[in-house]
Amino acid sequence: MSIIADNLREVENIIALAAKKSGRNFETIKLVAVTKTVGTPRIIEALEAGISEIGENRIQEAKLKYGELSERKIIRHMIGHLQTNKVKDAVKIFDYIHSVDSMRLALEIDKEAKKINKIMPCLIEINSGNEISKYGIKFEEAAAFVRAVAPLANLRFEGLMTVAPISSNPEDLRPIFRKMKELLDHLIEENKDLYPNFNFKHLSMGMSQDYMIAIEEGSTMVRVGSAIFGKRS
Ligand SMILES: *Cc1c(COP(=O)(O)O)cnc(C)c1O
């Protein structure tokens, strides 16, 4: 077996274990393989090993690689910060945008999605560690942000995403993941049935270092790169 296939089996085992530990069905957890900096041949290797969802953080790179992968049935996730001048491309090539982090961006996605008759599935990015260096809506501002963007007709809001702070001990991040799950549940309670396109259900959180903890705390989408493809150079 290839290293990628080996790594993938191990990640899948850990996902199953974390799900079991927290009494969840592992089928409710999506594995998004993060393919940034990974070349197309190795992405194809991962697809052949069973990956069906992939994530990129840069439009330029995604466009190049997705051109070569156009025949493949895969779900494509935009997980990085999105500049408004790249939105036109993003709504065309991605199935999900995880990183809606401003009103301006939401309006632009709505406008471009409308032009191509698409309802764009999106997540709202939360700056869960309150870090100056990170993008995302603050916890305290999330409720008002949802009320402002939920009426947009060409976005479908499916939940929240976060990039947790870097930590030498992933266990330290558990309270942050827990707070994200509480926020999701609160927002569902507050907004369900109010907007046709409000369909909160997903929590995109957990990366190679911490996805087991994130799953135990309610993640439904883990974004795993280096644990599958090895360290990025
Ligand atoms: C790179 C990246 C990941 C994956 O990181 P790994 O530590 O390699 O698993 C997940 N989410 C985002 C937003 C990323 O940019």
- Residues 202-232 have pLDDT tens digits of 999 999 999 999 999 999 999 999 999 999 8
How far apart are the CA of 142 and the centre of ligand 1, in A? 23
Domain range spanning residue 94? Answer: 3-229
Pocket of ligand 1 (CB under 6 A): 34, 36, 57, 79-80, 163, 207-209, 223-227
Can you tell me which atom of ligand 1 is nearest the CA of 208?
Answer: 9
Residue of minimum CA distance from atom 4 in ligand 1:
225
Task: Supply the pLDDT for residue 233.
Answer: 77
How far apart are the CA of 194 and the centre of ligand 1, in A? 33
Q: What is the mean pLDDT of residues 111-127?
A: 98
Structure token digits, residue 83: 């500049």
Distance CA 78, CA 204 (A): 12
Can you tell me which atom of ligand 1 is nearest the CA of 34?
Answer: 4
pTM higher than 0.85: yes
Check pLDDT > 70 for residue 48. yes
Residue of minimum CA distance from atom 6 in ligand 1:
225
Check pLDDT > 70 for residue 177. yes
Number of domains in the chain: 1
Of the CA atoms within 13 Å of residue 110, those in its CB half-sphere come to: 16
225: nearest Cα among 17, 25, 2, 42: 42
Output DSSP code: residue 74.
-
Distance CA 229, CA 233 (A): 11
Task: Supply the pLDDT for residue 145.
Answer: 98
Which of 167, 207, 221 should be mutated for ligand 1, with most atoms under 8 A from CB? Answer: 207
Contact (Cβ atoms closer than 8 angstroms) between residue 226 and residue 208: yes
Q: What is the mean pLDDT of residues 178-203?
A: 97
Per-residue pLDDT tens over the stretch 52-111? 999 999 999 999 999 999 999 999 999 999 999 999 999 999 999 999 999 999 999 999
Can you tell me which atom of ligand 1 is nearest the CA of 207?
Answer: 9
How far apart are the CA of 75 and the centre of ligand 1, in A? 17
Task: Supply the pLDDT for residue 106.
Answer: 98
CATH code of residue 169: 3.20.20.10
Helix (H) or strand (E) holding 115: helix 103-115
Can you tell me which atom of ligand 1 is nearest the CA of 209?
Answer: 7
Per-residue pLDDT tens over the stretch 126-171? 999 999 999 999 999 999 999 999 999 999 999 999 999 999 999 9
Which of 61, 160, 223, 233 should be mutated for ligand 1, with most atoms under 8 A from CB? Answer: 223
Structure token digits, residue 180: 């994200």
